[in-house]
Chain A
Amino acid sequence: MLNFPLWKQALIWIICIAGLVFAMPNVFYTTVEKHNDAVKALAKGAAETPELAAARDAWPDYLPSDLVNLGLDLRGGAHVLVEVNVADVYQDRLDGMWPAVRDILREQKELFGSVRRQEGENELRVRIGNAEAIGQAVEVVKTLTRPVVTLTGAGARDYDVVAEGDEIVLTMSEAERIATDDRTMLQSLEIIRRRVDEAGTREPTIQRQGADRILIQVPGIGSAEELLALIGRTAKLSFNEVVRQVASPDVAPGLGNIIVPSVNEGEGYYVLKRAPVVTGDMLTDAQTQFDQNGQPAVGFTFNPTGARLFGAHTAANVGKLFAIVLDNQVISAPRIQTAILGGSGIITGNFTVEESGQLAILLRAGALPASIKVLERRTIGPELGQDSIDAGKIAAVVAMVAVVVFMVLSYGLFGMFANVALAFNVVLLFALLSTIGATLTLPGIAGIVLTLGMAVDANVLIFERIREELQRGKGPARAIEIGYEKATSAIIDANVTTLIAAVILFLMGSGPVKGFAVTLGLGIVTSVFTAIWVTRLLIAMWLQARKPKTIEV
């Protein structure tokens, strides 16, 4: 048991040394952070300034540069939980159906008589002059509905059409509501992400939570109110005529034209007519479709004004390019194949399904599609975060010293072995946290400090066992061997139970609590490793070197 095979010894040392290497960047936190920012900025194509180059060169590239993320409570920033009122979209969609319903019914004016829209909430209610023909009218309107693909079954259509007296009532089907909610959420997420990214803050978290909520955490931003203002701003979408494509932004665009970069790298810049043909507020919908060849494409629909303008423009410019511009970037520049008169069209290109979905989201991503309710807002000032870090550091050092001294007083040399293992435990914990990109929160620091106290537990268990065996008159090597052997089941059981608590905390907790669960859970894993393997290796090496006749634990 104490005779380690060489490969095992080597493995333990390799893990420990790797831990040291990967934990090291955290010691030089600011330098490494600046290095990482500089590398990122340069990769994005920023001009190489002396400051950027200096920041980059301050930390050598061959060393790992992953850092423990500092949570909001340590770095300062804003945390906002919003609820998206997904139902807002329903009425818009139903309103969008009205022109089509009206037109298709008026085509058979002699049969249906007058067609009038009635008041209604979350429904489209249409009265026709001839109540006798209501059944036929429903059938006609049904031809406007489209099948919806759902997981639960085929045959569902996007709108339910029923007759009530002389009125036709159009409502969204359940399947379409779910699909719409989902689209609304994706769209909201995408818009929020773009808005927050624009602000250029470090590592924002934008997550969907549950059916209709979005959690936004932005480190370094002044306040939650600032963040909300940023999100609420509307995006600017327009369709512009393309004059020509250029490689450099420094070309003179000419009178009435503007130069706009392409979102795709390598596509250069576009010279566009400044006055847009159609603007984003005239778009009612966009979604992934497939063209006649079965290729993914993006279908879109304009409102009547947009449809008229777009129709006139496309009719006059077949074969030319037009650009879809979002927030001053050309996201796509398709060629006009035919005049698009119906107010809806399709953008083809070399899209994958994902890309077309993305583009559809972007196209819909004008303003936020639905209103939002702020359920939770938190602002943490950077001073408070720094105070917490400072206090946490001092507490951790004091705790460490106290535990180390106490262990030496109690177990002498063996206490020293446990302390070396403890040091490696902290190192490995930081290495793991950095590599997986975990976030360190204030309760997380508490978790580390607590791990310090609990980490020695496994060694205490082992040492107490060794003491007992020595008292029973066993020789040193034998006593140590039995000590390890017998303590193992207690160590495993005791740590698994704590791990269970940590896992549940992780699954159910949120924010800082989750951060605590991560450090606690990882701390258990590393402490079992260091306590069992590292101390055992140290003791085995010591036994081999000294071959003591008696030992005192």
Chain B
Amino acid sequence: MRLKLVPSETNFDFFKRGVITIGLSAVLAVLSVVAFLTMGLNYGIDFKGGSVIRTATPEPVAVSVYRDVLSGLGLGDYNVTEVVDPAAELTDTNRNAVMIRIEQQSDDAETQNDIIAEVKSALESEIDGISFLQTDSVGAKVSGELVVTGIEAVVLAVLAVLFYIWLRFEWQFSLGAVTALVHDVVLTIGVFSVFQIEFNLSIIAAILTIVGYSLNDTVVVFDRVRENLRRFKKKPLQEVLNMSINETLSRTVMTSVTTLLALVALYVLGGDVIRGFTFAMIWGVIVGTYSSVFIASPILLRLGVKRDWDKDSGAAGTQFADVDA
């Protein structure tokens, strides 16, 4: 007896509720953009400069104690949060960690060393047994550049992929895949904006991986579409698309589930340092799987495909296409 997440034969019509699915994505995308414009992102120090200190104490110390110590220092904007990591008990790594974020005071290119030294010594004298797990400090100059590089990286990745798919398929496929990608990226940024999760360098890495993953999914569907278009020359495009999505559905779900299994394990147990990163990935895998079915294919349908692209593959429907890569 096999575990089957998707029955062997499915015959869903993925375009029947096209208005709803596309509409939902459009609404979410608009909401994401609105959230980004109004609430912005909770940039980490990588992108806006400033300092982060992560402390550890042998016994739990209330955040208010930290605030009391820091309030006397005239730091400008700062905030103190407890690091909550339920899995830390499991892995025996609970260190009662607290994160202190101090904003960059000016547009100074240099890091604010004296402030950190001041904070450290104040905390050391007021809180017994405190140790510093991590201190990061980024000046305004570098953080500005990191933003630019991050955006460049994402745009470059999308363009490179656009080109590759155009090369391997047709421009309509390429446009469909890239729209799905942009959809994924926008929705990911939206989630980070709405929940104000810290947005740092590793999130850019996560977004790029999402780009790769979402494409992976889309390409598998498209590969089947390409094959079926050759086999069934006379079938309407919508039927071919539906058939291809149904045929690959089992695989799409299987792969998403195995990837999600691994990611959830990492999210729960991997520690608080990479939780934001794994969250972005989990969200990206879900959105990416959704978009390859409900965004990329409808766009392909709307754009249409040139059907007589390989005349030499023999009579339609009587022979398998030669798909050696």
Which A residues have a C-beta under 8 Å from some C-beta of B? 73, 81, 83, 223-225, 373-381, 383-384, 387-388, 390-392, 394-396, 398-399, 402-403, 406-407, 409-412, 442-443, 445-446, 449-450, 452-454, 456-457, 460-461, 464, 467-468, 471, 482, 485-486, 488-502, 504-505, 508-513, 516-517, 520, 552
Whole-angstrom CA separation of A402 from B271 in the bound complex: 18
Total interface residues on B, using CB and 8 Å?
85
Give 12 A-B contacts (CB < 8 Å), ordered by A residue.
A73-B273, A377-B113, A377-B137, A381-B132, A383-B131, A410-B3, A449-B262, A449-B270, A454-B259, A490-B224, A511-B201, A513-B201
- Given A497-B212, A498-B216, A464 contacting B265 (CB threshold 8 A): no
Give the nearest-CB partner of B155 in chain A.
Answer: A504
A394 touches B209 (CB 8 A): no
A500 and B255 within 8 A (CB): no
A residues within 8 A CB of B150? Answer: 508
Tell me if A407 and B271 are in contact (CB < 8 A).
Answer: no
Known: A381-B134, A411-B2. A376 touches B265 (CB 8 A): no
Partner of B95, one of A383, A443, A512: A383
Q: Does B297 contact A (CB under 8 A)?
A: no
B175 CB contacts on chain A under 8 angstroms: none
Among B8, B160, B255, chain A packs the most CB atoms within 10 A around the CB of: B255
Chain A residue at minimum C-beta to C-beta distance from B227: A486
- A391 to B135 alpha-carbon distance, docked (Å): 20
CB-CB under 8 A from B251, the residues of chain A are 457, 460-461, 464
Contact segment of B23-31, B138-146, B187-195, B306-314? B138-146
Does B293 sit within 8 A of A, measured CB to CB? no
CA distance in complex: A83, B150 (Å):
21
B157, B266, B269 pick with most chain A CB within 10 angstroms: B266
Most-contacted residue by chain A among B56, B209, B250, B262 (CB, 10 A): B262
User: In whole Å, how far is B91's beta carbon from the nearest beta carbon of chain A?
Assistant: 5
**Further 16 A-B residue pairs, CB within 8 A, beyond A374-B111, A486-B320, A505-B157:** A225-B117, A373-B110, A375-B139, A377-B137, A390-B91, A391-B269, A392-B271, A454-B216, A488-B324, A494-B219, A498-B215, A500-B164, A501-B161, A505-B208, A513-B202, A520-B212
Closest to B281 in A: A450
Interface of B: prevailing SS: helix
The 4 lowest CB-CB distance pairs between A and B, nearest first, are A453-B259, A501-B212, A453-B262, A391-B271
- Please tell me if B213 contacts chain A, counting CB pairs below 8 Å: yes
Q: Please tell me if the beta carbons of B255 and A456 are within 8 angstroms of each other in the complex.
A: yes
Q: A390-B93, A453-B263, A502-B212 are in contact. Are A443 and B202 (CB under 8 A)?
A: yes
On whether the beta carbons of B134 and A399 are closer than 8 Å, the reply is no
A443 to B271, CA, bound (A): 12
Q: Does A501 lie within 8 Å of B168, measured CB to CB?
A: no
B128-185 interface (Cβ within 8 A of A): 131-139, 141-142, 149-150, 152-153, 156-157, 160-161, 164-165, 168
Contact of B54 among A374, A384, A406, A482 (CB under 8 A): A384
B135: chain A residues at CB < 8 Å are: 223-224, 377-379
A505 vs B216: C-alpha distance in the bound complex, in angstroms? 17
List, in ascending order, chain A residues with CB within 8 A of B213's CB.
Answer: 454, 498
Q: How far is the CA of A513 from the CA of B270 in the complex (A)?
A: 17
Which residue of chain A is the closest to B168 with respect to CB atoms?
A: A493
* Chain B residue nearest to A498 in the complex (CB): B212
Of all chain A residues, the one with the shortest Cβ separation from B46 is A376
Query: B269: which A residues are within 8 A, CB to CB?
Result: 391, 394-395, 398
Task: Provide the residues of chain B in CB contact with A488, threshold 8 Å.
Answer: 323-325
Contact with A along B1-34 (1 / 0, CB 8 A): 0111100100000000000000000000000000
CB distance from B274 to the nearest CB of A (A): 6
Which residues of chain A are within 8 angstroms of B247 by Cβ–Cβ distance? 468
Q: Which of A374, A383, A494, A495 contacts B110 (CB 8 A)?
A: A374
**Which residues of chain A come closer than 8 Å to B258, judged between CB atoms?**
403, 406-407, 453-454, 456-457, 460
Is the beta-carbon distance between B202 and A402 smaller than 8 angstroms? no
Q: Does B211 contact A (CB under 8 A)?
A: yes
Q: Is the CB of B205 within 8 A of A516?
A: yes
Q: How far is the CB of A503 from chain B (nearest CB, A)?
A: 8
B257 at the interface (CB under 8 A from A): yes
Provide the B51-63 mask, 1 if CB < 8 A to any CB of A, else 0: 0001010000000
Contact partner of A376 among B111, B204, B325, CB < 8 A? B111
Decide: A449 and B110 in contact? CB cutoff 8 A. no
Residues 202-239 of B contacting A (Cβ, < 8 Å): 202, 204-205, 208-209, 211-213, 215-217, 219-220, 223-224, 227
- Judged by a CB distance under 8 angstroms, whether B87 is at the interface is yes
Contact at A381–B133, with CB atoms within 8 Å? yes
Task: Enumerate chain B residues within 8 angstroms of A501, measured Cβ to Cβ.
Answer: 157, 161, 208-209, 211-212, 215
Contact A460 B254 (CB under 8 A): yes
The smallest beta-carbon distance between A458 and chain B, in angstroms, is 9
What is the distance, in angstroms, from B118's C-beta to the closest C-beta of chain A? 13
Which chain A residue lies CB-closest to B169?
A493
Judge whether B250 and A464 touch: CB under 8 Å: yes
Contact of A505 among B95, B138, B153, B217 (CB under 8 A): B153
Q: Is the CB of A83 within 8 A of B271?
A: no
